[in-house]
Structure 1
């Protein structure tokens, strides 16, 4: 189960689906709980049992939170009858799942999706109900997983929870398909959800500041104020192409056309786009640096604002030797830390451990 408000498929949902399919292929009985967006109430996809909770807009306003959403979640969790329940991204569902697991003596594992889940102000949770339920779920979780050492420290300082760091998995090109990128393409890529916290407006400012370069913005566009502003400004920039959403099976070609990935966010967790870019050997120029990895491992350049971003990109693209070194560093870091072969066994070991501990507690009681 993954959290979040938008309903769009992003890094959290993609990584959770990777986990589900990998475990199913290993012989685990895997169920995934989702909103009902059509089709039968249950179906099996790639070996994973998909159980629909209800439609996101089902029920009466003011009451739908309790029925059919909460009651549907309980029904789906009961139907899954799992040995371990896993949820990614802090929200009210964190507490709802933890409560059911506690009453049913089932282990619950929570995974933080971003730094916002480790912030005591919980900036992504707008209502008191969401914040109360999330804090409860965090307290009751049998294990908490985070993506970075910074998140681990913040979980301990701000919520009194010990957490285990497990990098997120990311499939990428094998050695036979991999080619080092070239700075000569002079294409700068931005990819993600077009949301205010991602600051896509900075990317447009960057395109305006660097008319000699080409810029590609990839991500779903909705009818909210942020997306409409981006679309209005984009038509005034001849060197910017807004692609909208790109199917996952075509994303590889998008990364291969680029010379640099650009991140303009105020905060993140450990963006899936970073892992994908590094799997293709792309350096990253970013306002956000998880655990200081970009700077310390020379995987790109960390900047504070658009002016520094423009300077860093120009310097990198005009320095072939430095570019090649960062590209090789990026690919090496990905292979050592984020392939499915490296990451998935760590999740499997944790799930086995927590399931065994809960079984022992049951036996003792």
Structure 2
């Protein structure tokens, strides 16, 4: 690969589905969405960004929306130390020709690999947090080597970027470092025009997202309607099968097929609330997309920076299933009389994001 100069290079290997417009490609998550929105925004302002990602089955373009797309080759060495060496070599070959500030998003072993290569090449390395669990990564790391590599990357980072005050505080406590807070981006959107008649859940079908809590909510409120867009994960096939099996027994719940991000937006038009049941989060992108349209949030276990409560942007159950049901009942009963709530949601996004 020839040497290329950029203002900033974003490394996120799962970004591909946002760039590939093929409708068969499932939606990407919040971390990917934020990086892609940021890269496109920088390009519109005259900067030269690129994104580094793994390929998709159909293949990615070299450029999209004035953002260069650098495809990182697939790993070939398998698991274990040999695989890690192959990953390091692949990343070296991919990153070395890029003269740029390099930003790596979300906790993982690649934080250390990308950080080491970037610093070895004499360039600035930025670690960008995507979730509060990044500061307790020992709960997620699949091996001691992966945990060590993540901590190495944090130490090597010239700058740590977080989304919320909560993340900044956790960074200070866990790593003894001050982080720079850059709030998540929310794209402008028109007020939802449909009559609200369904609770909406969008996310990956993995344990920490706790999709079973949404199923339990649907079971507890047979008079209400529920829609779920769940992306299966090869790492948690059991959870995916459980959700599909239980959903078949809930006549008021519709399990929708996965779809590109742009095709999710019409679902917000009739949402009573955007529901998040994750055990830990950053700033959920689904909340931002809902609030931008005047749709409130209903959170089970995590209220980012306490804004749902402090700014009255929906309901927060503080981890209580009973409270979640009670809040949903209230939202369902008042769904056609919430103009003040809708305006607060839109005002918050315009003011803060």
**Bin of the TM-score, shorter chain as denominator length:** 0.7 to 0.9
Within the candidate set 227, 232, 236, 2:240 is matched to 227
Alignment of structure 1 residues 305-316 onto 2, 5 Å? 305-316=320-331
Matched, 1:79 2:97: yes
Structure 1 stretches of 5 or more lacking a match?
Answer: 339-365
CA change 1:218–1:22 in 2 (3 A) is same
Superposed displacement of residue 306, structure 1: 2.3
- Secondary structure (helix, strand or coil) at the match of 2:52 reads strand
Superposed displacement of residue 277, structure 1: 0.9
User: Is contact 2:112–2:153 with CA below 8 Å preserved after alignment?
Assistant: yes
Question: What is the Cα-based RMSD across aligned positions, in Å?
Answer: 2.3
Within the candidate set 45, 50, 56, 1:37 is matched to 56
Superposed displacement of residue 251, structure 1: 1.6
Q: Distance in 1 between matches of 2:170 and 2:229?
A: 31
Matched, 1:248 2:261: yes
Structure 1, residues 17-74: CA drift from partner, whole Å, max 9, x if none?
1122222232322221112335779822222222222124x2354423211x211111
Within the candidate set 293, 302, 308, 1:280 is matched to 293
Q: Which has a greater percent of strand?
A: 2
> Partner of 1:28 in structure 2?
47
TM-score for both structures, normalised by structure 1: 0.84
- Secondary structure (helix, strand or coil) at the match of 2:231 reads coil
CA change 1:136–1:100 in 2 (3 A) is same
> Partner of 2:124 in structure 1?
107
Alignment of structure 1 residues 121-160 onto 2, 5 Å? 121-160=137-176
- Secondary structure (helix, strand or coil) at the match of 2:178 reads coil
Alignment of structure 1 residues 169-318 onto 2, 5 Å? 169-173=185-189, 177-179=190-192, 182=195, 185-222=196-233, 224-287=237-300, 288-303=302-317, 304-318=319-333
Count of matched residue positions in the alignment of Structure 1 and Structure 2 = 329
Superposed displacement of residue 103, structure 1: 1.7
Structure 1, residues 148-194: CA drift from partner, whole Å, max 9, x if none?
11111111011111101111112131xxx324665xx3311111111
- Secondary structure (helix, strand or coil) at the match of 2:138 reads coil
Superposed displacement of residue 315, structure 1: 1.4
Q: Which has a greater percent of helix?
A: 1
CA change 1:321–1:258 in 2 (3 A) is closer
